[in-house]
Structure 1
Amino acid sequence: MKSMHTANHETTRAALGLAVADPFFAEGLFDALPDVVFFVKDGEGRYVVVNQTLVQRCGQRHKSALIGRTPAEVFAHPFGQTYYAQDLLVLAGDNDIEDQLELHLYPNRDPGWCLTRKAALRDAQGRIVGLTGISRDLAMADKKNPAYRKVAAAVTVIHEQYGQPLQLAELARIANMSIAQIERYFLRIFHLTPRQMIIQTRVDAASRMLNGDASVAEIAQACGYGDHSAFTRQFKATTGLTPSQYRQIAAGRSGD
């Protein structure tokens, strides 16, 4: 049974929701955040609301260049198709996306790491009518945190031994922490879980190696993936591209 406080809160929330003239009032607030992409899309995955950061990341000047279009029409192939497929899964009710670690290539082809969230929007009857999301640039490490040096020791191991099996228990031992502590401090200091940092480090290394002549299987092995297919799945989940597709785009980038 709901408490009186909860009931009053829900009534106040509903009344305020009806009173606000523009349900997309947050657009202006997100325009002021240069490190956060914000968007709202309709049930077909078309942009309805975007912030200025997203416009700039797409190499455009005005929001009108994005409104009414899907990511497949805005982003270069195959990135746009990947983002659109992700949207369709959310719109189908399969799953919301929470802090998906992603490597984005911007119009100038510089890579940037982000954490992406997407959530379905539902009407009063619970039907999905659209989706909303944000993509946050990974912030700099909080080196002022008292636990930074301990956690940094584990990070050094990740950076130096990413090609080896890395166990959370061993990283916790190196940092002289419990598993719960190291997970908590990783999030506070680096805004990533230990697992996400391992993925980031391995994908960073793999993307550099893809500029060379090593085969995808050799790169997978060097980056700690004994299974070639597991490496390809992880790489595509993080970058939106298969290793071979990334290699082709990287070759074009180096030739500019």
Structure 2
Amino acid sequence: MLTDSLKKWRGQFLEQVADPFFMETMFDSMPDLFFYIKDVKGHYVLISDAIVERCGLKHKHEAIGKTAFDLFPEVMAKRYTEQDEKIIATGRPLIDSLDLTVFNNRRRGWCLTTKHPLRNRKNAIVGLACLSKDLIEPSTLGFVDEQLSAATDYVRENYSENISLEALAKIAHLSVSQLDRRIKRIFNLTTGQFIIKTRVDAVARLLLETEQPAGTIAIDCGFCDQSAMSKQFRQVTGFTPSAYRKFFAAEQI
């Protein structure tokens, strides 16, 4: 846990950083990662060089102030925008979403995307930040398609329900074993572990963003009871739910 003096020191240091665009510069040196920041209306504020190249632009300034519909095919822009609007409305991050993209050779492919809301000092959401990584090998080998993306979307949207591997496999138009191999190739997790991770991520968010009791959170996140949630949560994070809430809530003060 950070002491008050360390928090003050850290805040003073960050206020001295002269270039607020240092993140953009840092990601420019990582051609396999796509980074951007948008405002609440979906306008690009910062983008990395990888996006400039991907969209066939010559300079970053051609994208600043534009939206996804100005840079990407409509079907992709619509999905990206729907994701953004949901994040802005709920304040909930999007973790490891399988999204359709177009590689630099103009071939269709898939990427793994994470987005987080950005807040001002009054805790109001003012935009979002996104980091995306191409899944070149899985895309080339045919490990990812719309059905697999639909299956992972289903987990993220229905983690509070009882999700069977058979039902997910049906959504993905695969056998259970085929689905497991593809999920593991992309996320380095079995399908069951992917479901648990999604639920644990939701538990962690609710522990910090709400004052709900652990038992209520357990049911809301798809666990049969508080004991089952605590066991899985500790295996994944190393914390009990109560210890996690106490430790990280103090970090946010």
TM-score by length of 2: 0.55
Q: How far apart are residue 111 of structure 1 and its match? A: 2.4
Match of 2:63 among 63, 66, 76: 66
Q: Give 3-state SS (helix, strand or coil) of 2:176's partner.
A: coil
- 1:139–1:190 CA contact under 8 A, matched in 2: no
Q: Radius of gyration: which is bigger?
A: 1
Relative to structure 1, the CA distance from residue 107 to residue 190 in structure 2 (aligned partners, 3 Å threshold; closer, same or farther) is: closer
Q: Give 3-state SS (helix, strand or coil) of 2:36's partner.
A: strand
Match of 2:110 among 110, 113, 119: 113
Q: Unaligned regions of 5+ residues in structure 1, if any?
A: 142-157, 173-182, 199-256
- 2:32–2:134 CA contact under 8 A, matched in 1: yes
- 1:39–1:134 CA contact under 8 A, matched in 2: yes
Match of 2:47 among 50, 67, 73: 50
Map of 1:26 onto structure 2 = 23
Q: Say whether residues 1:165 and 2:176 are aligned partners.
A: yes
Map of 1:6 onto structure 2 = 3
Q: How far apart are residue 100 of structure 1 and its match? A: 1.0
- Distance across 2 between alignment mates of 1:60 and 1:192: 34
Map of 2:188 onto structure 1 = 192
Map of 1:130 onto structure 2 = 127
Q: Which has the higher mean CA deviation after the structures are superposed, 11-20 or 115-124?
A: 11-20
Describe how 1:136-215 pairs up with structure 2 within 5 A: 136-138=133-135, 163-166=174-177, 186=184, 191-195=187-191
Map of 1:81 onto structure 2 = 78
Relative to structure 1, the CA distance from residue 8 to residue 140 in structure 2 (aligned partners, 3 Å threshold; closer, same or farther) is: farther
Q: How far apart are residue 56 of structure 1 and its match? A: 0.9
Q: What percent of counterpart residues are identical?
A: 35
Equivalent residue letter for 1:103: L
Q: How far apart are residue 59 of structure 1 and its match? A: 1.6
Number of residue pairs matched by the alignment: 160
TM-score by length of 1: 0.54
Relative to structure 1, the CA distance from residue 70 to residue 190 in structure 2 (aligned partners, 3 Å threshold; closer, same or farther) is: closer
Relative to structure 1, the CA distance from residue 135 to residue 29 in structure 2 (aligned partners, 3 Å threshold; closer, same or farther) is: same
For the aligned residue pairs, the C-alpha RMSD in angstroms reads 3.2
- Distance across 1 between alignment mates of 2:69 and 2:137: 31
Equivalent residue letter for 1:21: A
- Distance across 1 between alignment mates of 2:124 and 2:49: 29
Q: Unaligned regions of 5+ residues in structure 2, if any?
A: 139-168, 195-253
Q: Say whether residues 1:96 and 2:107 are aligned partners.
A: no
Map of 2:32 onto structure 1 = 35
Relative to structure 1, the CA distance from residue 94 to residue 18 in structure 2 (aligned partners, 3 Å threshold; closer, same or farther) is: closer
Relative to structure 1, the CA distance from residue 139 to residue 16 in structure 2 (aligned partners, 3 Å threshold; closer, same or farther) is: farther
Relative to structure 1, the CA distance from residue 49 to residue 62 in structure 2 (aligned partners, 3 Å threshold; closer, same or farther) is: same
Deviations 1:188-239 (A, max 9, x none): x85433339x9xxxxxxxxxxxxxxxxxxxxxxxxxxxxxxxxxxxxxxxxx
Relative to structure 1, the CA distance from residue 19 to residue 59 in structure 2 (aligned partners, 3 Å threshold; closer, same or farther) is: same
- 1:140–1:190 CA contact under 8 A, matched in 2: no
Relative to structure 1, the CA distance from residue 77 to residue 103 in structure 2 (aligned partners, 3 Å threshold; closer, same or farther) is: closer
Equivalent residue letter for 1:119: H
Deviations 1:58-114 (A, max 9, x none): 121211121001112211212112211211111113521111122322464312332
- Distance across 2 between alignment mates of 1:193 and 1:139: 18
